[in-house]
Structures are given as C-alpha cells and as structure tokens.
Structure 1
Amino acid sequence: MDDEPTVRELLCAALRHTGFTVAAAGTGQEALEQARAVSPGLVLLDVMLPDMDGFEVVRRLRDQQRPGRTAVSGHIPVVFLTARDATQDKIEGLVLGGDDYVTKPFDLQELIARVRAVLRRTSGDPGAVLRVADLELDPEGLQTTRAGQPIRLSRTEFRLLHHLMANAGRTVPKPLILEQVWDYDFGGDTGIVDTYISYLRRKIDNGGPKLIHTVHGVGYVLRGPKP
C-alpha cells in the first residue's frame, strides 16, 4: 500500500509479474478494510499516508490479530516502504511488529527479494533442512554436508550459506546480504561479503559442480548445476 498512485501501480505491476496476487489501497483505512476482506499473506506498507501513518495502521492491524479478535486471523507480516529513513523511525516500525523496513528510493529487484525473504521467515519450518543439489544445511543441528561429506564452517560462513540457500535460485544483492547476515545498514562496506563468499567457495565448490555464482554488479546466487 502506497499513497502515491504511480508508485503503487509500479509496485503492483512488478509484484504481479513476479507471481504474487495483489490487492492495492491508497489510505490506511482502505488497507485495514482490505486486510479484513482478503487476509493477505503480507502487507507492503508506506509510512506516510493521507489519513493515518503506517505505524498506526500496524497498531490497528496487530490489535485485530490479538487472541479473541476475529477481524484478521493469523500473523500478517508487514514490510514498511517509506522515505522516512531516520533510525528512530526504523526502530519504531520494527518494535510495532514490522518485519522489514525499506527506504525510498528502492530497487525493485531488491524489494521483491526482501518480500520473499520475509515470507520465508514467517512461514514454514525455520528449522527445516535446506537442500540444493548435493549440498545440505541443517539449521538446528548446525551441520553442513556436500555429497555426504561434512563441511566445517565458521558461524558467519554458516549464516551466509543459510541465507544463500534460503534464497536458492534467486540473485541476492550484496547490500541485502550485508544487512541480513552482518546486521549492517546499507552504508556498510560490502567488500566483506565478497571476502566471505570466497571462503565459502573454497569449502563448498571445491571438487564439485559450482553452486555459488556471481551476478556482476548485483550480488550472488546459489543454484544447482544445470541438467
């Protein structure tokens, strides 16, 4: 939901093209009514709206989801999308129950990657074993194997590989990797991502088909070998 029609139309078109079903709203009240009507899988929410700010929308949405309330069922993840990039605004949005906070101007590819990441984090079994080709990662057991052979990873290497495998087949921008794995803001130096990717490659891609690929000028993608 965005109060700018052009931005809203662009977002709707991009999300639909990616395979999402989209319901749009131009005000906070419309968004709450849409949530009650369709129970969305995720809300993409502008903070600056004409009738109430996005933080108030989330307060009301979360209130509707409290036990005993039937207006909106289940936890609906929220991704804030806004020009308000002050640290305090980000903190407020996340404390209120937002699942991510994206500032304008934004890259559509990155935004869609964030939406997918939030959906993965908030649905399914976070402890499920991840598999790509003959590579396996067990988040609960903290074990990694390839072709049945154990691979010793540092804590950071494990988190990086987990992030890549959770997004298998999709290009993950380096700034997003930096934020998700190292918890840095986008002003951080993404060179550390390149360094740890090289560490992973020595351990993961040594002796087998290449799984970690560079997308020049963007980031990295982990995918199985082509048939």
Structure 2
Amino acid sequence: MNALEETYWEHVNKSTKMGVYLTRVETQFIFDSHCLKADGLVVDVGANAGRFSLPAAQFMSVVAMDLDLYALKRLRLKNQDVAVVLADARFIPLKNCVADNVIMIELLDYVENAEAPISECARVLKDDGLIFLSFGNKSSLKGRIKGFSGKSYRYSYQDILRVLKAEKFKIARKMGFNWLPFGRDSNNPAIYLFAKGERILGLRKLARFSPWVIIQAVKVAE
C-alpha cells in the first residue's frame, strides 16, 4: 500500500453519500454552534487522519490522539502544527486540567468500558471545559435490529448519560441523527431525501430514541 494512500475512514467520510452526511451533521454540531472555546487547546480523542482536528486547528491548538499510527502520519502530512499522540483513549498521556475542549466522536462503540475514556477526558479538561462525544444508541430501534445480527451498539443513551453524570458533566446540548437505513459506505441516491426528512420531521430532537446521539457537555467545577 502506498504510504500516502487514504485510510478507509478518510475515504468513506468524504467519498460516499452516507459518509458525507454523517460528517456534515457532526461537524455542524461541533463547529457551527460556536461553542468551542477558541484560542485554547482541544484534544481530539480517536482523531484518525484529522476529520475534526484539521478544522479545529484553524483557530486553536490541537492534540490529536489515536491508536492508528498510519492515520496519524496521514494527519501530519496535512498539518504539521497539529500535535499527534499515539495513545489509548483509556490512558490519555496529558496532565490534569490542561484542555479547554475534548472531541471524542464515534469512539465509544469501540471501547468495552465507556467509563474509562470519559473519566480520562474529565481529568484532562479544565473546569467548565467542553466535551463533544457521539455514540450508537443500543436502545434505539436501529440498535435493537442490529442486535439480532450480533452487531449491536455497545451502550444505550441512558448508559452514557449515567457515566457523564458520574464524572460531573452537565449536558448542554444533545441531538439524535442517523435515522437513515443505510450503511456508512452507501452511495444510495435516496440518502439526501432521508436526511432532509430526518431534519424536517424533527427526529434530531428525539435523542433518547435516536440511532446515533451527539452530545455537548460541560465539566462542572468542583
């Protein structure tokens, strides 16, 4: 494989209709709200090749973490100002209370114990710092259907809310998405219509029942 070749995630996120839809929804939630604390430090946990690190680096310092060394090398090729760290989300190699923001998108479904990475994010965040995280909702209809095939999401909406509360996070915003009946690498021409229907019908407001959920939470000062 050529050393400069895109990762799988880079390809599907920008070259498939479903990947573009998911990336657009997540990016808008994080950046268009202007909630990120600008000119501070953001830690992108599970950064891969920089889907969110790169836009964040336009106005703040970024530490991008991942277990995929190849993806981190790809990220460095795009922006050498981003600090890359090969590390496990359950053991973030940063000091306490150094980050203004943490981004952890689509990582929890790959971790057996959600408490560990969320606890580490709380540790490195400053008081009143923000975390943006997303996950597949095991208790959603889509999650239950996936369960029949042995591919269920790991956590329910309530599971993640309990962990966030235990780590002294207060929910600031939440949104449901990915009600679409397509896989991530799909180029089905109906994706645009389904995404429009999701928005018009107000399904994104039903986070508790949504297949995927994205949350912004604030670390409450002790």
User: TM-score with structure 2 length normalisation?
Assistant: 0.34
Q: Which has the higher contact order (CA 8 A, sep 6+)?
A: 2
Larger radius of gyration between Structure 1 and Structure 2: 1
